[in-house]
Structure formats: C-alpha cells, structure tokens
Homo-oligomer: A and B are copies of this chain.
Amino acid sequence: MGQPIESACRPESACAEPVDVAIIGAGFAGLTAARALVSAGLRVTVLEARDRVGGRIHTRHAQDGTPIDVGGQWVGPGQDKVLALAEELGVETFPSFEEGENLCLHNGRLMRFTGLLPPHEPAALAEVEATFQALDALAQTVDAETPWTSPNAAALDSESFDAWIIRTATSDEARFWMRFLARSVLASEARELSLLHVLFYIKAAGGLAALISMGGGAQERRFSLGAQHLAERLADTVRPHLRLDTPVAALAQDGDGVTITTATGDTVRARHAIVTLPPALAARLRYSPPLPGTRDHLAQRMPMGACIKVQCLYPTPFWREEGLSGMAISEDGPVSLIYDNSPAAGTPGILVAFIEGDEAKEWTARTPAERQSAITQSLVRLFGPRAADMREYIELSWLEEEYARGGYAGVMVPGAWTSLGATLRQPTGRIHWAGTETASRWLGYMDGAIRSGERAAAEILAAR
C-alpha cells in the first residue's frame, strides 16, 4: 500500500526526491490514476492548478449551505465505474426530480408536455423520431475503441453533423431537434462537429436514449452533497500525494524520466507522467522535446464545447405546485434547457439553466447582471411571474474558467479523428494521456474520466 512518501516529498514545497509518477490534474482521471498507482506501491505526486480537486466537477454552496454543482452533476445507469466508486466510498446519490409536465417555449408559444419531446404534428413527429433512430443506428456502426477504423470512417468524418442533418432531415422540426441535441449534449453547434465524433459519443454512452434520458439515462441521479464530494472522498485516498495551487508550466523528458516545472519554477522529477488535461489545454504546456506534430495538430482540432451553467434559487420549487417538473426547453434563447435542480429535501427550489454553443459564446462576453436579467426573463416566460422572485443566482461560464476553457468536453472537428485520432491515447515517450476525452466509454462524463485514469495507470504498471 505505497511507500512512506510523506517523508520524502512534502506537499507544500518543491519535491526534491524523485517520484515514480507525476500526475497533472486532480480531476477524476488524475485521482483515479493516483489511487491505482499508490495502491500498487508507487510513489506518486498529483499536481493540481486549482485550489480544489474535481476538475470540471465543482460544487459551490448557496448562502444557506445548499450544495450547488456548477460543473458536472449527473450519473446514470451504465456508468458503472462512477456508480461503483460512489458505493465503495459511501457517497450518497438521489434520483433527479421528474414528476409532472415539462414545458416548451417555441416562437413565444408555451406548451406543456410529457416525455422527451413536446407536441408536434404527426408527420413532423414521425420525421423527428425517424431522424433520431437513423442517428442512433448509424452510431451503432462506430467502433468506440478506435473510431477511425469504423466502417466508412473517412466519409463519416468528412462532413459535419450539420451537413448530415441537412441531408437526412427535411423538416424544420427534425433539424431543430438534431441541432438542439448537439447543443445540449456536446455544448457545440452541429456545424462545428465531425459527424463521426457525434456518432462515437453516442456509441460510447451505449446509445442515444442513454445519453438524453433522465430516468434510465445519464441524468438519472445526483449526489446528495454535490458531485465534488465524490472527488473529495476519492482525493482522501491519496491526500498526502496531492499538491493543490500548483499549475504546471513545462514537462521535459529524457531517457530516465520527466522533469515537471510548475508555473512558479518548482520542479518535480518522475519516471513517468500522466497528463489529464483536455487535449486543447494539454498542448499549452511546454514540452521538451516538443510534442510530435501529430499530437499537437490533434490538440489544435479538438476545441472545447461552450457552456454557461446557471442556477436560480427560490424559497420553494413553486413549479411543482402547478404540476410542472421544472424541465423546460426554450427555443427562444439564450437558455436552451432547464431542469429542477432542487436538493433531495425539496427546498430551496432550484432551477438549473444551460446556455450552450453559440449562445454561450455570445453571452460569456456580457456582464453577470445582463445574463441574470435575460435568464430571469426566460424563466418568467416559462414559469410565470414567481420565477422573478429569485433569492440567489449562481453561475459559471466555463469559457472563462482558466483551467478548463469550456465544457463539457473537447470535441473533434471534421477530419480530426481519421487523420490524427490514433495519437489521442498513444503515450508520448514517458508521458501518458488521460482525461475524459480519451475514454472509449462515456467520454465527456465522470465515468469516462475514471476509466481513462485506470487505463493510464495500467499503461504505466505494464511499462515497468
């Protein structure tokens, strides 16, 4: 169960004595890798830029102490790794609220509905459903381990998801819902995404229904104390090896190991390194020797999605009294999707609203007051005047977050998977790559991050 590393390397200072593995990033990928490697008896240091663990999982607290997940928050069936971890560490989850009717605002017209989709004319509904099914079926043809070897990969990677939408769906409705899918699931515009990437993402989640459903899907459950609580409990298993507030600036590798230099000039020497940052951010570190051109060009073609997550707190979840679930779809912007995000006890009432894709790129440049005003107006249009009596407003634009620079994850532009995808998980000498973007199952989710950390740790154990 590990050597007495505490005496060799004090977390608060530069680490003079070499470690076996230095891990950059204390999100779920980095913490999982650290735990596996410490368990195997290796000396490990985890270097985290932020003053907290969790990465894109981040729980703040409302004035009354209610945990508020400003980052990732949901888990659901099929996400076996994260569910097992929560059970093992005794971290409690509870079902997302989904009783009552949903709302949809379309051209100023408000509709109540049940199920995933608001009411449509029968012909339009049939095409919407056929398009979803066509996408789902196409996704099943993709190889989630090596998407670039899928049948017809070159063609699937040559066009954008938007080009496929235009080619496949003729009605405005079907096109709208496909573009809405790109925004709500990948926080991206359909025109930015390689079709192959969208298919891969669906395949990695086990299908479209698993991805978009609340009950039975990726949004089924939440963490009672917030998702970061799970990261903290995981961090507890490797706490002595963890250095917070330590942004890394550079990695220099030679035949024997890797020297990591922090932004303040401290150095850590390790036999191997694991970089868990999203590829776009990983490429911003300085490498000696420089990263291979293929790895660097992949990183240049994997931009982060764009999302702003907003939470509006009310004394009670007043919408429930009116038979509403709190789930709402707004086609009139800037908010696209809203859910009831109240704690298990039911108070305070919390609505979580997502601004995604181009709307996020536009609204991230406004002031918090401007955003709050626009979002309040959206909520009032949907939920009536009581939505204006907000008692607290908590937001995070992930575009502004220095160490994530977007979310939920990095996405591949057309051509990237087939020309460069093979380098995504391939170690660069003694530097191994982890992070949810490198997962072949549930990439973009905590579950994928955990799987990537396990894989990177296994690579290093196998290489020794």
B-binding residues in A (CB < 8 A): 157-160, 162-163, 189, 191-192, 247, 249-250, 263, 265, 280, 283-284, 286, 290, 292-294, 296-297, 300-301, 303-304, 306, 358, 361-362, 364-365, 397, 399-400, 402, 405-406, 413-415, 419-420
A284-B284, A420-B361 as given contacts; A406 in contact with B192, CB under 8 Å:
no
A-B contact pairs, 7 of them (CB 8 A): A159-B163, A189-B415, A189-B419, A296-B399, A297-B306, A297-B406, A303-B413
Q: Which residues of B contact A402 (CB under 8 A)?
A: 290
Identify which of B191, B280, B365, B415 contacts A158 (C-beta below 8 A).
B191
Q: Which of B157, B163, B297 contacts A303 (CB 8 A)?
A: B297
Closest B residue by C-beta to A418: B358
Among A189, A283, A293, A294, residue most surrounded by chain B Cβ atoms (within 10 Å): A293
A350 to chain B, nearest CB (A): 24
Whether A419 contacts B365 in the complex (CB less than 8 A), given A162-B158, A405-B300, comes out as: no
Contact yes or no, B159 A361, CB < 8 A: no
CB of A304 within 8 A of CB of B294, answer no
Give the distance to chain B from A354, nearest Cβ to Cβ, in Å: 16
CA distance A296 to B284 in the complex (A): 12
Q: Are A364 and B294 in contact (CB under 8 A)?
A: yes
The one of B249, B306, B364, B420 in contact with A249, judged by C-beta atoms closer than 8 angstroms, is: B249
- Nearest residue, chain B, Cβ from A422: B365
B364, A301: Cβ atoms closer than 8 Å? no
| Distance between A428 CB and nearest chain B CB, rounded to angstroms | 12
Q: Which residues of B contact A292 (CB under 8 A)?
A: 364-365, 400
Query: How many Å lie between the Cα of A160 and that of B190 in the bound state?
Result: 12
Chain B residues, Cβ within 8 Å of A280? 300
Q: A405-B300, A406-B300, A414-B191 are in contact. Are A419 and B158 (CB under 8 A)?
A: no
Bound complex: CA A74 to CA B414 (Å): 31
Measured between beta carbons, the chain B residues less than 8 angstroms from A420 are 361
Across the interface, name the chain B residue whose C-beta is closest to A406: B297
Q: Which of B293, B397, B419 contacts A400 (CB 8 A)?
A: B293
CB neighbours (8 Å) of A158 from chain B are: 162, 191
The smallest C-beta distance from A263 to any residue of chain B, in angstroms, reads: 7
Distance of A56 Cα from B311 Cα, bound (Å): 47
B159 near A405: Cβ-Cβ < 8 Å: no
> A286's contact among B263, B293, B399, by CB below 8 Å, is which?
B263
Please, how many angstroms separate the alpha-carbon atoms of A192 and B412 in the complex? 11
Q: Within the assembled complex, what's the spacing in Å between the Cα atoms of A399 and B419?
A: 14
Verify A397–B293 contact, CB threshold 8 A. yes
Q: Nearest CB to that of A278 among chain B residues? A: B300
Q: Is the CB of B263 within 8 A of A297?
A: no
CB-defined contacts of A290 to chain B, threshold 8 Å: 400, 402
A265 touches B263 (CB 8 A): no
A286: which B residues are within 8 A, CB to CB?
247, 249, 263
- Would A358 and B419 count as touching, CB distance under 8 A? yes
Q: Once the chains are docked, how many angstroms separate the CA of A420 from the CA of B362? A: 8
Point out the residues of chain B lying under 8 angstroms from A265, CB to CB: 265
Q: Which of chain B's residues have a CB closer than 8 A to the CB of A163?
A: 159-160, 163
Q: A298 to chain B: closest CB distance in Å?
A: 9
Give complex CA distance A188, B461 in Å: 39
Known: A294-B399, A297-B399, A301-B192. A419 touches B362 (CB 8 A): yes
Please tell me if the beta carbons of B159 and A162 are within 8 angstroms of each other in the complex: yes
Q: How far is the CB of A287 from chain B (nearest CB, A)?
A: 9
Asked if A192 and B399 sit within 8 Å, CB to CB, the answer is no
Q: How far, in angstroms, from A280 to B303 measured CA to CA in the complex?
A: 11
Closest 3 CB pairs of A and B: A293-B399, A300-B303, A284-B284
Cα A348 to Cα B399 in complex, Å, equals 53
In the complex the two chains form, is B294's CB within 8 Å of A415's CB? Answer: no
Task: State A263–B413 Cα separation when bound (angstroms).
Answer: 31
Report if A296-B263 is in contact (Cβ < 8 Å); known contacts: A159-B160, A160-B160, A361-B419: no
Q: How far is the CB of A396 from chain B (nearest CB, A)?
A: 11
B-side contacts of A283, CB under 8 Å: 284
Docked pose: A413 CA to B300 CA in angstroms: 11
**Cα A413 to Cα B361 with chains together (Å):** 15
**Are A415 and B191 in contact (CB-based, < 8 A)?**
yes
* Chain B positions within 8 Å of A303 at CB level: 297, 300-301, 413
